[in-house]
Amino acid sequence: MASINLTNIRKQYGSLTIIDDINIEIEDREFVVLVGPSGCGKSTLLRMIAGLESISGGTIAIDGKVVNDVGPQHRDLAMVFQTYALYPHMTTAQNIGFPLKLRGASKDEIDRAIAGVANTLHLDALLDRQPRALSGGQRQRVAMGRAMVREPRAFLFDEPLSNLDAKLRHHMRIELRQLHTSLGATSIYVTHDQIEAMTMADRIVVMNRGKVEQVGTPLELFDKPANVFVAGFLGSPTINLGNATLYAADGSARLEFDAGSGPIDLANVAPSAHRDVVAGIRPQHLEVVSPEGAKLTGMVDLVEHTGCETNVILSVGSEKWTVQSRNRQHLTQGEHVGLVFDPINLHLFAAETKERI
């Protein structure tokens, strides 16, 4: 098992910069998830770690050894591809045994290793089948088995669950995480799915446009997003954001939404000079009340009942906000409602920099 250090990593195609000065330290046995919208460079970064993509600048070190010029064959990392990349002309057993065969292991050794992996991944009955005769979930397992069989220094996952249906994805998410707990292998996992990132990671790296926006544990990122992007990326439904003004009056901080109708006292915020801010509040932290006397009001656009929860989508000024409630809401479209929240759950970002205040 290994630690992986990325120092000032850059990737350029001509004048186009894909990855811009990225520094990440991944500790031994850690499960790190790279998450971001498509095109943010997360897959490219993973492929650079794997050795499948050249490095334009900076260094990648595995266990303290710089591997910039080491080919993918010699980095001793295993990768699970989004497409699984199973060899179509080989059976499940041959697919899993392939990495050992390349290393010149004896037939006995290979058979024993295949049996062990097949047992862990419940593939025993499928060993003689070719990939085309396997379902999506089974293929995914075979790809996992091929990665596990030779005990690599680290696992790299490139959106491995994105081709599965929602139910299977949930199931595999749990299995993958359990597997990580039992193997204790360093893992780097790329996904665009924030639920996968939140549920599986020891630490999340949020990326956007080739840069790291924030690194931290899932709850750190959720509770204290460093900027508007991270706040908007993590959490479902998406955080509600509104332009507001922060100022001090009578020795306490006050917030007034542009779309609101009065100041809201913020007891937990130190009073500061007048400034423009972006205020964020998660849908779970809002409550629908009667509009009389409310400092923030909205008009109901839609009510979604998911069974457990009710999502109320409202127009607040020019923004669309969502309120998620455990109580069934009996609201009609066009109804005028007030919104209240506990100021402790408020996230404030500077209007110009979009960084957390």
Residue in 15, 16, 38, 71 binding other proteins, rule: CB under 8 A: 71
How far, in Å, CA of 33 to CA of 198, rounded?
A: 9
Closest CB to other proteins among residues 150, 180: 150
**Sheet arrangement for strand 57-62:** 16-26, 4-13, 57-62, 65-66
Closest CB to other proteins among residues 98, 247: 98
Q: What is the DSSP string of 124-171?
A: GGGTT--GGGS-HHHHHHHHHHHHHTT--SEEEEESTTTTS-HHHHHH
Size of the site for other proteins (CB under 8 A): 31
Closest CB to other proteins among residues 85, 215: 85
For residue 296, give the nearest of 273, 321, 275 by alpha carbon. Answer: 321
Closest CB to other proteins among residues 12, 268: 12
User: Interface with other proteins by CB under 8 A: which range of 80-88, 191-199, 293-301, 320-328?
Assistant: 80-88
The CB-of-86 to other proteins minimum distance in angstroms stands at 5
Render the burial of 86-117: b for 16+ CB within 10 Å, e for the rest: beeebbbbbbbbbbbeeeebeeeebeebbeeb
Binding mask 103-142 for other proteins (x = CB under 8 A): x--------------------------xxxxx-x--x---
Q: Which of residues 226-265 bind other proteins (CB under 8 A)?
A: none
How far, in Å, CA of 78 to CA of 183, rounded?
A: 14
Residue in 50, 176, 281, 303 binding other proteins, rule: CB under 8 A: 50
The CB-of-181 to other proteins minimum distance in angstroms stands at 23
Closest CB to other proteins among residues 11, 150: 150
Residue in 52, 70, 259, 289 binding other proteins, rule: CB under 8 A: 52
Residue at 321: amino acid letter: W
Asked if residue 281 lies in contact with residue 225, where contact means CB atoms within 8 angstroms, the answer is no
User: Interface with other proteins by CB under 8 A: which range of 29-37, 71-79, 310-318, 343-351?
Assistant: 71-79
- Beta strands 286-289 and 297-305 are unpaired
Q: What does the chain come to in residues?
A: 357
167 part of the interface to other proteins, by CB under 8 A: no
227 DSSP assignment: B
Q: Catalog residues that contact other proteins under the rule CB under 8 A.
A: 50-52, 71-73, 77-79, 81, 83-89, 98-99, 102-103, 130-134, 136, 139, 146, 150, 163
